[in-house]
């Protein structure tokens, strides 16, 4: 088991379709293979368990704060957390940073047009058709991180290249 002071929360933030979940899966697998205690928290999955979670600014902030608190509790007990959430607002991400001891913010960057082209779930198409309201990047803002610990540009880097950047950075914790 990992020592509590060596655990960390790796928080991947970015637009829908930027590559957060793909990278989180890759990093989770890497850490798991090392035999370390790790949990993956994903926005799409957790929303299924928190059915009252909406998409207004207040509801998004509350959701991220709940998840951030959960991540901090896992970290406190020696579990490495790999979290992938759009988490569009700086204040909510700042809250998570403040409640975690070792918080690493990863900005998974891809331009909006690239994310729309990758739209595997059809969300951008539905949002542009008016079927989804408060969609981040379209009719609701995404506040880019001001000083992320890591930036990966997934429109310019392969999944392997982006994952390597993250793995190199977290190496000091492993």
What gap in Å lies between CA 151 and CA 103, rounded to an integer? 14
Report how many helices (DSSP H) and strands (DSSP E) the chain contains, helices first: 7, 5
Torsion angle in degrees (nearest 10) through CA of 124, 125, 126, 127: 40
Torsion angle in degrees (nearest 10) through CA of 114, 51, 60, 72: -100
Which listed residue (18, 72, 84, 87) is catalytic?
Answer: 87
The answer to whether residue 87 is catalytic is: yes
Q: Which residues are CB-contacts of 84 (< 8 A; sequence separation ≥ 6)?
A: 12, 20, 21, 23, 24, 40, 41, 42, 43
Active site residues: 87
């Amino acid at each position: 088991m990992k020592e509590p002071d060596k655990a960390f929360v790796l928080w991947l933030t970015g637009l829908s379709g930027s590559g957060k979940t793909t990278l989180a899966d890759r990093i989770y697998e890497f850490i798991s293979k090392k035999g370390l205690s790790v949990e993956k928290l994903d926005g799409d999955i957790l929303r299924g368990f928190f059915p009252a979670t909406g998409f207004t600014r207040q509801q998004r902030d509350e959701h991220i704060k709940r998840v951030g608190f959960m991540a901090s509790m896992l970290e406190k007990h020696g579990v490495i957390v790999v979290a992938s959430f759009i988490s569009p607002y700086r204040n909510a991400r700042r809250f998570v940073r403040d409640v975690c001891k070792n918080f690493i913010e990863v900005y998974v960057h891809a331009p909006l047009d690239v994310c729309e082209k990758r739209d595997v779930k059809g969300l951008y198409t539905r949002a542009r058709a008016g079927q989804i309201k408060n969609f981040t990047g379209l009719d609701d803002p995404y506040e880019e991180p001001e000083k992320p610990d890591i930036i990966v540009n997934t429109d310019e880097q392969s999944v392997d290249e982006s994952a390597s950047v993250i793995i190199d950075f977290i190496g000091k914790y492993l």
